Structure 1
Amino acid sequence: MPATQGELAARFEENRSHLRAVAYRMLGSLSDAEDAVQEGWLKLSRTDVSGVDNLGGWLTTVVGRVCLDMLRSRTSRREDSLETRLPDPVVTDAPSDPAHEAEQVDSIGMAMLVVLDTLPPAERVAFVLHDMFAVPFDDIAPIVDKTPAATRQLASRARRKVRGEVPRGEPNLPRQRKVVDAFLAAARGGDFEALLEILDPGIVLRVDTGVGVLEYVRGAAAVAGRAVMYGKFVTSGRVVVVNGAVGLLSETDGKPTALMAYTFADGKVAELHIIADPKRLAALGIQVPDGS
Structure 2
Amino acid sequence: MTDLPGQELLALRFEEHRSHLRAVAYRMLGSISEAEDAVQEAWLRLSRTDVSDVENLGGWLTTVVARLCLNGLRSRETRREDSLEARLDHPRGTGRPGGAGHPVRMPDPVISREGAVDPQDQVLLADSVGLALLVVLESLAPAERLAFVLHDMFAVPFDEIAPMIDRTPAAARQLASRARRRVRGQAPVPDPDLARQREAVSAFFAATRDGDFDALLALLDPDVVLRSDGGVARARQTVVLTGARTVASQASLYRNLAPFVLPALVNGAAGVVCVVEDRLMSVMAFTVTGGRIVAIDVIADPERLGDLDLTALR
TM-score scaled by structure 1? Answer: 0.92
Paired residue secondary structure (1:80): coil
Equivalent pair of 2:105/2:135 in contact (CA under 8 Å): no
Distance (Å, rounded) in 2 between the aligned partners of 1:14 and 1:278: 36
- Give the counterpart letter for 1:54 in structure 2: N
Distance (Å, rounded) in 1 between the aligned partners of 2:105 and 2:178: 24
Runs of 5+ consecutive residues of structure 1 not aligned to the other structure: none
| C-alpha displacement of 1:53 | 1.5
Equivalent pair of 1:37/1:63 in contact (CA under 8 Å): yes
Distance (Å, rounded) in 2 between the aligned partners of 1:219 and 1:30: 31
Is 1:167 the counterpart of 2:167 in the alignment? no
- Over the matched positions of the two proteins, sequence identity in percent amounts to 57
* Matching residue of 1:224: 248
Distance (Å, rounded) in 1 between the aligned partners of 2:211 and 2:277: 26
| C-alpha displacement of 1:105 | 5.2
Is 1:73 the counterpart of 2:75 in the alignment? yes
Paired residue secondary structure (2:313): coil
Matched residues, number = 286
- Give the counterpart letter for 1:16 in structure 2: R
* Matching residue of 1:5: 7
- Give the counterpart letter for 1:22 in structure 2: V
Distance (Å, rounded) in 2 between the aligned partners of 1:182 and 1:80: 34
Distance (Å, rounded) in 1 between the aligned partners of 2:24 and 2:110: 14
| C-alpha displacement of 1:277 | 2.2
Is 1:133 the counterpart of 2:135 in the alignment? no
Distance (Å, rounded) in 2 between the aligned partners of 1:90 and 1:185: 25
| C-alpha displacement of 1:279 | 3.1
Equivalent pair of 2:264/2:313 in contact (CA under 8 Å): no
* Matching residue of 1:117: 138
* Matching residue of 1:45: 47
Distance (Å, rounded) in 2 between the aligned partners of 1:123 and 1:136: 15
Is 1:36 the counterpart of 2:13 in the alignment? no
Equivalent pair of 2:105/2:138 in contact (CA under 8 Å): no
Segment drifting more, 222-231 vs 23-32: 222-231
| C-alpha displacement of 1:238 | 1.3
- Give the counterpart letter for 1:29 in structure 2: S
* Matching residue of 2:107: 87
- Give the counterpart letter for 1:87 in structure 2: P
| C-alpha displacement of 1:169 | 1.8
* Matching residue of 2:275: 251
Is 1:152 the counterpart of 2:152 in the alignment? no
Equivalent pair of 1:176/1:245 in contact (CA under 8 Å): yes
* Matching residue of 1:284: 308
| C-alpha displacement of 1:35 | 1.1
Query: 1:128-164: per-residue Cα shift (whole Å, max 9, x none)?
Result: 0000000011111111111111111111111111111
| C-alpha displacement of 1:280 | 1.6
Which of 184, 196, 206 aligns to 2:217? It is 196
Q: Hey, which bits of structure 1, 4+ residues long, moved more than 6 A? A: none
Paired residue secondary structure (2:297): strand
Paired residue secondary structure (2:167): coil
Distance (Å, rounded) in 2 between the aligned partners of 1:288 and 1:135: 32
Is 1:27 the counterpart of 2:29 in the alignment? yes
- Give the counterpart letter for 1:185 in structure 2: A
* Cα root mean square deviation, aligned: 2.1
Equivalent pair of 1:140/1:148 in contact (CA under 8 Å): yes
Runs of 5+ consecutive residues of structure 2 not aligned to the other structure: 85-102
Change (3 A) 1:108 1:96: closer
| C-alpha displacement of 1:96 | 7.6
| C-alpha displacement of 1:50 | 1.1
| C-alpha displacement of 1:80 | 2.1
Paired residue secondary structure (1:65): helix
* Matching residue of 2:164: 143
Distance (Å, rounded) in 2 between the aligned partners of 1:217 and 1:247: 19
Distance (Å, rounded) in 2 between the aligned partners of 1:105 and 1:131: 13
Distance (Å, rounded) in 2 between the aligned partners of 1:279 and 1:171: 32
Which of 207, 230, 235 aligns to 2:228? It is 207
Equivalent pair of 1:105/1:171 in contact (CA under 8 Å): no
TM-score scaled by structure 2? Answer: 0.86
